[in-house]
Amino acid sequence: MNEKHDESKIHATVSTKIQDYLGEFVYGGIDGSVTTFAVVAGSTGANLDSSIVIILGFANLLADGFAMSVGSYLSSKSEQAMYDKHLQTEYWEIDNMPEVEREEIREIYQNKGFEGKLLEDVVNVICSDKDRWANVMMKEELELIPDKKSALTIGGMTYLSFIIIGIIPLIAYVWDYAVQQLNNVFWISCTLTMFAFIGIGWLKSSVTQTSKTKSILETLLLGALAAAVSYFVGDLLEQLIK
């Protein structure tokens, strides 16, 4: 029984961890699929060979994905640094201006409807512990909540999803070049990418808590618009260069 209980706890912990970083996976996947498909569409509009599409696609996949993951990492680190800075300020104010900070706690809970002895009891309990006091000030006064997610994991998850989902538009071109030639390779790529958009749109609905249909349609529309713009730009540039 204990082994089953421990195993269920492990599964629950893993599931929670996946949920924690689902947002990073979704948005990395959206960016990866949209930007790579845009490269494919632009290259097709310019009538480039499959080998060129593969080169441009993988260059974009690796470089743009890395840039996005670094951006996510630095953004998370900056947010954590900002939170820590404000937290240290709160500790300093508690140590050096305790009465002022105590009065701020009283006002916060007074505005929540506490009064009389209950209000004073709440204030006394909060102010009896410096860590609790500082955390309440961070949440109630500054409206800041610590992000317990790892900045490195955020960056890694973003890059991983960018690669996994972003490679889908290139699969048909890799097959066409390395295995056997395909008829209508671009439309095969479009079909595969459409399924990728549907999947990532479905996952996005879990993150944003919105309608699955709406989320899928939004993702499909975003990808279609990006591809259309890239295709016509590629076609126009080919005509101008000729």
State residue 135's pLDDT score. 92
3 pLDDT more than 70: no
Query: Percent of the chain having pLDDT more than 90?
Result: 35
134 pLDDT more than 90: yes
Quote the tokens at residue 49. 């060979």
Q: Which residues contact 137 (CB under 8 A, 6 or more apart)?
A: 90, 94, 101, 104, 105
74 or 16, higher pLDDT: 74
Domain of residue 120, residue span:
87-141
15 or 121, higher pLDDT: 121
Nearest to 193 by CA among 172, 174, 162: 172
Q: Which residues contact 78 (CB under 8 A, 6 or more apart)?
A: none
Q: Are 154 and 179 contained in the same domain?
A: yes
Mean per-residue pLDDT of the chain: 85
State residue 17's pLDDT score. 57
State residue 11's pLDDT score. 41
Mean local confidence (pLDDT), 138-160: 87
Q: Are 154 and 230 contained in the same domain?
A: yes
State residue 203's pLDDT score. 87
- Cα–Cα distance, 119 to 102 (Å, whole number): 12
Q: Are 224 and 107 contained in the same domain?
A: no
Tell me if 33 is assigned to some domain: yes
State residue 47's pLDDT score. 85
Tell me if 7 is assigned to some domain: no
State residue 18's pLDDT score. 59
36 pLDDT more than 50: yes
Q: How confident is the model at residue 44 (pLDDT cuts 50, 70, 90)?
A: confident
Tell me if 134 is assigned to some domain: yes
Q: Are 175 and 68 contained in the same domain?
A: yes
87 pLDDT more than 90: yes
Q: Are 225 and 165 contained in the same domain?
A: yes
- Cα–Cα distance, 158 to 28 (Å, whole number): 5
State residue 2's pLDDT score. 52
Mean local confidence (pLDDT), 138-149: 85
Tell me if 80 is assigned to some domain: no
Exposure b/e, 133-151, CB count within 10 A at least 16 = b = bbbbbbebeeebeeeebeb
| C-beta neighbour count of 8 within 10 angstroms | 10
209 or 106, higher pLDDT: 106
Query: Is the whole-model pTM more than 0.85?
Result: no
Tell me if 13 is assigned to some domain: no
State residue 6's pLDDT score. 46
What are the phi and psi torsion angles at 230 (to 5°)?
Answer: -65, -40
125 pLDDT more than 90: yes
Tell me if 223 is assigned to some domain: yes
